[in-house]
Structure 1
Amino acid sequence: MLVDELDSTALFAVETSAPGVVVTPQPGIDQTHKQFRVTLDDAPAQRLAVASAEGVAALVDDVLIASAADALGAARAVMESAIEYAKVRKQFGQPIGAFQAVQHLCVDMYETVELARSGVMHALWAADAADSYERRLAALRAKAFAGRLSTVGDIAIQVFGGLATPGSMTPTSTSSGS
């Protein structure tokens, strides 16, 4: 955990089974990312390092970039699954992907994913090569693009046509009959 000290920020390790540590699971929508509330009451901690304000800012930027990349990967997987489904699901004797309305939905997903990908790629470059100001702007841009990625899920639901509830089945494993 990061703790503010007088003129710096220190990184401490706290054993979750130590006395004075209470870890409480928190409800969340995404079951792949568990959330917890951690309460410390006179818990023992080991100081690992001290970071400058610039170091902490760089760490925050890295977390923003990693979160944006994670969202990008999830959105891309949803998009690819929806596009594959549009190729195999038939209606009126042809794949639903042959219909212009479905094609527009797929293009909208693709555009959103590619804009976010560009933002993440630039942020990754800036994390290594740019000054702290440009790095911060690139990380915030990547976060902003990632915020739009939820629309990919909304659009995919339209392509799938309400096929199933989230997590109950993979759309590409269903029959392709009409």
Structure 2
Amino acid sequence: MTMQFGLTEEQQELMTAVRTLVQRRAADRDLRSVVADGSGYDDDLWRAVTEQIGAAALAVPEEYGGGGFTSLETHLVLEVLGAALTPSPLLGSGVLATQALLLAAAPADCARLLPAMATGERIAALAWADTAGRWRLDGSDVHAAAPGEGWRLSGSARLVLDGAAADVVLVVATTPTGAGLFEVAPDAAGLTRTPTPALDPTLRFATVEFDDVPATALSLDAGAALAQLWSRAAVAVTALQVGGAQRALDDTVAHLKERTQFGRPLGSFQALKHRVADVLVSVETARSISWAAAWAAARNAPDLTTEAARAKAWCSEAFSHAAGEMVQLHGGIGITWEHDAQLYFKRAHATSHLFGSADEHLRVLAPI
């Protein structure tokens, strides 16, 4: 199968539609007010993106109430949202939890849970990272036991995306046979969900603790699924990184054109031109690598693990480079709280560690 090095007309229209919605909503409500909101994202924008665009349904099969497209289309939506730093549950619920169900759960459980997630009516969270913040393929610091009637979970998980207010709580837990996927009622006795402050205020994490919590087993052998999920999650993060890097570059170029020094636009100075050109090269390369990995994920390509590792390593470095230059080339205003440069800088560093740092993914490419 040959990869198409370009978007179809429909995919371009999808990105344009999402971009228009985001820009229209930003005119009514700015990013900082959304961040300060208790929910952590704009409910009205989320409803528009899910109802008018069907963003959460794109990669869900039609038999489960979805659009029947692929994860590549979801990837493109994430890139647009990443450019505006738009807080949304799409990464946690529309990608991570949705893919966990599709990869590991039985068709009956998918039919029960996915339709409401696809419409955005219900937000799902996947508790996966252990207490040290690692996403492990052999289980987690949550342990499952079946001492009598049904399964019970004990332990804790960190870095749970949208975990504090999710309507569906999915849990990766260590079982006697490996790693299992479980569902827990959001109001279950013994379940505690605590919001966790994050470097990037546009991402909402929680620590979820389990004290002998009753659970429903969706899969008792999720190890192979987690290996795929790790790669798919990393690929999805690169979409946010490419979008953010592109906006950091665009805003920096606009500033250098408008700001003058010694009677000349800053952008006319050769040294600054070279720095911006370097950012452009890294951003364009990052987009190509990210799209290649998204294409591999959408088609379950045998080289998905390699493509995901390459994309996450490169895009993490590219976004950090673009955000760092954004701060420096904006001069004094670039380090102020009022300017968005600090938000892009924080997003770059937060996402560089989310689902594996560049060093971790480079070790996948070249094991030591």
- TM-score bracket, shorter-length normalisation: 0.7 to 0.9
Equivalent position of 1:24 in the other structure: 194
Equivalent position of 1:144 in the other structure: 313
What TM-score, normalized by structure 1, do the two folds share? Answer: 0.83
Alignment RMSD (CA, Å): 2.2
Give the 3 Å change call, closer, same or farther, for CA 166–108 of structure 1 in structure 2.
farther
SS of equivalent to 1:78? helix
SS of equivalent to 1:22? strand
Paired with 1:50 and 1:120, the residues of 2 have a C-alpha distance of 32
Please list every run of 5 or more consecutive structure 2 residues that lacks an aligned counterpart in the other structure.
1-170, 342-368
Does the CA-based 8 Å contact 1:16-1:22 persist in structure 2? Answer: no
The Cα of 1:6 is off from its aligned counterpart by: 4.6
Percent of aligned positions with the same letter in both sequences?
A: 31
Alignment length, in residue pairs?
Answer: 170
Deviations 1:48-104 (A, max 9, x none): 455653322221111010111111211111111111111111122221111111111
Amino acid at match of 1:40: F
Whose relative contact order is higher, 1 or 2, with alpha carbons under 8 Å and at least 6 apart? 1
Paired with 1:80 and 1:5, the residues of 2 have a C-alpha distance of 48
SS of equivalent to 2:206? strand
Deviations 1:117-173 (A, max 9, x none): 1111110111133543x11000000110122021111111121012143551357xx
Paired with 2:214 and 2:307, the residues of 1 have a C-alpha distance of 37
2:298 is the alignment partner of 1:128: yes
- How do 1:62-81 and structure 2 match up within 5 A? 62-81=232-251
Please list every run of 5 or more consecutive structure 1 residues that lacks an aligned counterpart in the other structure.
172-178
Paired with 2:336 and 2:241, the residues of 1 have a C-alpha distance of 17
Paired with 1:99 and 1:14, the residues of 2 have a C-alpha distance of 59
- How do 1:36-75 and structure 2 match up within 5 A? 36-49=206-219, 52-75=222-245
Query: Which of 243, 246, 252 is the matching residue for 1:82?
Result: 252
Paired with 2:202 and 2:192, the residues of 1 have a C-alpha distance of 22
Equivalent position of 1:108 in the other structure: 278
What TM-score, normalized by structure 2, do the two folds share? Answer: 0.43
Equivalent position of 1:174 in the other structure: none
- How do 1:1-16 and structure 2 match up within 5 A? 1-7=171-177, 9-16=179-186
Does the CA-based 8 Å contact 1:116-1:142 persist in structure 2? Answer: yes
Does the CA-based 8 Å contact 2:181-2:220 persist in structure 1? Answer: yes
